[in-house]
Structure 1
Amino acid sequence: MLIDIDLRSVMMVSVLLGILFSGGLLAARTYHDGRIRASMTIWASGMLLQPLAWALIALRGQIPDYLSIVFGNSLSVLAFALFAHALRRMHEHSTVPRLVYALSAAVFIGLSADVLVVHQPQWRVFGLSLLIAVFLFQVARETLAGPWRVQQAGVQLTAAVFFFGAGVMVFRLVYEGFFATAPREVFAPTVLQSVVFVYAALAPVIASFGYVLICNEQTVADLRRMAATDPLTGLFNRRPFEQMGEKLIADAARKRRPLALLIIDVDHFKQFNDTYGHAVGDAVLQRLADVLQAQLRGADLIGRMGGEEFAALLPDTGASHALQVAERLREAVDALEVRSVGVVVRIQVSIGLAMLDENAIHDDEPGELLAALTREADLAMYAAKRAGRNRVEVAF
């Protein structure tokens, strides 16, 4: 039963688990880089604080109260603040979670005031429970604030640990505020004390398991993203462009909505590489990708099909509007100056425009529709080349 639990033993087990888990995280971080490695370092730092915090709390009565009560509890809370910081760093935020750290500072100040001045243990427990409930709720929110899907197992587990802790603190707050009759010994084996101590001891370990799952899920997502995008321009490669393009075409055919495809090819691109070197050629492609992303909508699909050829699918875009978009792109590129390795070059593009056949129906194979649309746009692009380049041609 909970009331038979020796709380000091629970704390010592937590110390051992914290040391082992933090050591494992520090070893695992060597296999990662970038934001995941930085995040794991911060999380492991929090795990290392937990054993120190629990050691100070377990020595209550044998060391000064300021060390045991103030520093012990404050370090435990700071460890959870580092967890929130690690989660924010995971989703590429360079900022720190100020509210979480502010609440940690409030815990330290409040405990210091009580131990040194106020000397009201019951109010200390009441105030500490309130602050930690808000604190854990904020850490749980930080867990759910990333770009990751909330249905991921790691996110669910980690957030659940913190939300549960906030609930425990709220219950403790209500109990201490309305039902407690007298202060109790901190290690008294009551049901409520047992729940609080067992949670505080095991929550970092369970949350760390969830955090490891988040790291694994993010690593897999990063690998998929790297495989799907062109490392030079950051745009989709041909295969993922075609996969997503087929979905857009299927949706357009089903709803009988217009859809346009642009094939964009840099004029005389080989001359840039031959004359100025590949560094200038790469700069040309990067700047062209920037122009495409700046000129097109978020709903439009853009990809690098290979070499100096790019493609853009424009859903819900009729022929006249698509022609306007193509001309706007051509003019934006024509006005572009590319500076690289001490030279300035101007570039131009030829654009082929093709519209999804109005007779296409949702039963038609999306892959075949996209292939046919690409052939038409390609032919129109080559027609623009033959007509003098730096122009837009429409497939008929």
Structure 2
Amino acid sequence: MAGYAVILAMFVIGCFAIDRSMPNLKGMRWLKSAFALAFAGIVLFSARSYTHLFFIVSLTNLSLVMTYVLLHQAICEVLERPNHQIRISMAVVVFNILACVDFTLVHPNFSYFSYAFSTTAAVQIALSAYVLFRHYPPLLRGPAMFAGGIMATLASIHVVRAIVTIFLGPPHTDLTHPYLFQSFFTLVHCMLGISAGLSFVWLSVCAQRLNLQTLALTDGLTGLLNRRAFEEALQRELTYSNRHGKALGLVLVDLDFFKIINDTYGHPIGDEVIRRVSAVLQCTTRGSDALARFGGEEFTMLLRDTDSMQAAMVAERIRHSIEMMDNLPVSLNITASVGVAVSTFGDTSETLLKHSDEALYRSKRAGRNMVSIHSDSTLERVYLPAPQSRHAFLSPHR
């Protein structure tokens, strides 16, 4: 028990050091509190010869149960999940307190108390295992499954203890001198508890790294890919297209006269317009199409396995969707100029971007609010859909 207390103390100190060096690491404040309570419980139990049994049982077991509750809260915070199980956790705490009172003041039966504590602990730990197994982000699968496995094992140990207590029971009722199985359970419980804490630290560090990667590759205003991430995606998709002989469409969208909006109404209104447009673009493209804010009021997207006509249809649908946007701030009406380029074998990311940019400026020079396509022969032409077939470009399918 003394060795376990030393290990817990070192773990708590380590958590404080990690939290100090990485203050944005999610869940660490809950983890520190959880294992500080566990350490306090061990210290209280060590003073059992000098304290009334009621205080030993009540405070020690309450600290252990609250350790599981706080650890569950830490897991929810790291996985960015609301703690929908908070009522169950509170019920577990209340039931444990009542069991402590009953054991020390009414029915001093160790078998009953051991069963009650193990059952409530198993329920609380199982909740954490459920959240880890069911609600992890795909990129956190490894650490989440590992932590969930440890929590599931810890819950199973408590279930085994409860079953053994029911059918065998301890040879005596003296809590301060545990029998052989109780000593073995305490050892395994200590080992799994430390393992759960270490697995949580791993999960939290992986989640922090994932968040940093997301921040580095996404635009903070819209949540779309940023220019750096888009250029990396463009290079990958071009390599794939050239290898398999498939065309890759590149659409460049620029909001018309956007500088006037910023100068007239201020940047907050301009930012809101950018957010609304990004939402429209996400609704008018496939999930497999890479969509990015290329800079300022420019957006760009990659269209996999798309020829010139299909890319033109998508571009016209986008242009029309932006033109028809309503409920914009201060009753604004906005339009967009669009440039389209489709890759041919041997194209590089630089040449494809150059072709789409040339097509975009052709749309601007021709009067804006239109789609221009860079043809395979490197000649630019303006794409103007016939009025009678305009509905074809509004179709959600292509």
Kept in 2: contact 1:88–1:96 (CA 8 A): no
Counterpart residue number, 2:396: none
Greater Cα shift, 126-135 or 259-268: 126-135
Q: Are the equivalent residues in 2 in contact too, given 1:57–1:73 (CA < 8 A)?
A: no
- Partner in structure 2 of residue 182 of structure 1: 171
Please point out which of 86, 103, 118 is paired with 2:74. Answer: 86
- Aligned with 1:131 (options 89, 112, 120): 120
Contact 1:302 1:312 in 2 (8 A): yes
Q: Please tell me whether the aligned partners of residues 85 and 127 of structure 2 are also in contact (alpha carbons under 8 angstroms).
A: no
Do structure 1's residue 226 and structure 2's residue 215 form an aligned pair?
yes
Quickly say closer, same or farther: Cα 1:198–1:347, change in 2 above 3 A.
same
DSSP 3-state at the match of 1:143: helix
Alignment partner, residue 368 of structure 2: 389
Q: 1:317 to 1:62 in 2, by over 3 A?
A: farther
1:261-272 pair list within 5 angstroms: 261-272=250-261
1:29 aligns with 2:19: yes
Encode CA deviations 1:94-145: one digit per residue, 9 max, x unaligned.
Answer: 4453244443433333444444444432133234323323332322233343
Task: Check if 1:147 corresponds to 2:137.
Answer: yes
TM-fit CA distance, 1:277: 4.7
How many residues are treated as equivalent by the alignment?
373
| Deviation at residue 262 of structure 1 after TM alignment | 1.4
1:41 matched residue in structure 2: 29
In structure 1, the residue corresponding to 2:166 is in which secondary structure? Answer: helix
Distance verdict in 2 for CA 1:176–1:274, change over 3 Å: closer
Find the counterpart in structure 1 of residue 152 from structure 2.
163
What is the CA–CA distance in structure 1 between the aligned matches of 2:90 and 2:238, rounded to whole Å?
A: 49
SS in 2 for 1:346: coil
Check the 8 A contact 1:354/1:373 in 2, yes or no.
Answer: yes
The whole-number CA distance in structure 2 between the counterparts of 1:300 and 1:277 is 32
Deviation at 1:74, TM superposition (A): 2.3
Partner residue in 2 for 1:7: none
Q: Which amino acid aligns with 2:163?
A: V
C-alpha separation between the residues in 2 aligned to 1:335 and 1:189? 75
Partner SS, residue 167 of structure 1: helix
Change (3 A) 1:126 1:279: closer
Asked if structure 2 preserves the Cα contact closer than 8 Å seen for 1:384 and 1:390, the reply is yes
1:207 Cα deviation after fit:
2.6
Shift of 1:147: 1.7
The aligned counterpart of 2:340 is: 353
**Contact 1:338–1:346 (Cα < 8 Å) also in 2:** no
SS in 1 for 2:287: coil
- Residues 1:299 and 2:288 aligned together: yes
Partner of 1:315: 304
- 1:31 and 1:382 map into 2 onto residues whose CA distance is 49
Partner letter of residue 186 of structure 2? F
Paired residues for 1:366-381 under 5 Å: 368-381=347-360
In 2, are the aligned partners of 1:71 and 1:108 still within 8 Å (CA)? Answer: no
SS of the aligned residue for 1:298 comes to: coil
> What do residues 311-359 of structure 1 show as CA deviations (whole Å, max 9, x unaligned)?
112335565554443233222322336866xx554321111233444xx
For the 8 Å contact 2:254–2:299, the answer to whether it is kept is: yes
Structure 2 residue matching 1:347: 3-state secondary structure: coil
What is the CA-CA distance between 1:53 and the residue it aligns to? 2.0
Structure 1 CA distance for aligned equivalents of residues 224 and 52 of structure 2 = 60
Q: Structure 2 stretches of 5 or more lacking a match?
A: 376-398
Q: CA RMSD in A?
A: 3.3
> Residue by residue, what CA displacement relative to the aligned partner does 1:10-51 show, whole Å, maximum 9, x if unpaired?
1x44444444433443454345556x35x2212211122112
C-alpha distance in 2 between matches for 1:133 and 1:96: 18
Report the residue type matching 2:290 in the other structure. L
Quick check: 2:75–2:128 contact (8 Å CA) kept in 1? no
CA contact (8 A) 2:250 2:301 kept: yes
The one-letter code matched in structure 2 to 1:226 is L
Q: Does 1:331 align with 2:320?
A: yes
Q: Which residue of 2 aligns with 1:286?
A: 275
Residue of 198, 202, 209 corresponding to 1:209: 198
Asked if 2 retains the 8 angstrom alpha-carbon contact of 1:283 and 1:338, the reply is: no
From the superposition, tell whether residues 136 and 278 of structure 1 become closer, same or farther in structure 2 (CA, over 3 Å): closer
Alpha carbons of structure 1 residues 74 and 241: separation in structure 2 relative to 1, 3 Å: same
| Residue 130 to residue 156, structure 1, CA distance change in 2 (3 Å) | same
Structure 2 letter corresponding to 1:348: T
Residue of structure 2 equivalent to 1:52: 40
d(CA) in 1 for partners of 2:91, 2:312: 54
Which segment drifts farther, 300-309 or 118-127? 118-127
How far, CA to CA, are the matches of 2:239 and 2:230 in structure 1? 14
Q: CA deviation at 1:389?
A: 0.9
Letter of the 2:54 partner, please give it. Y
Give the CA deviation at 1:274. Answer: 4.4
CA distance in 1, matches of 2:170, 2:179: 14
In structure 1, runs of 5+ residues without a counterpart are: 1-9
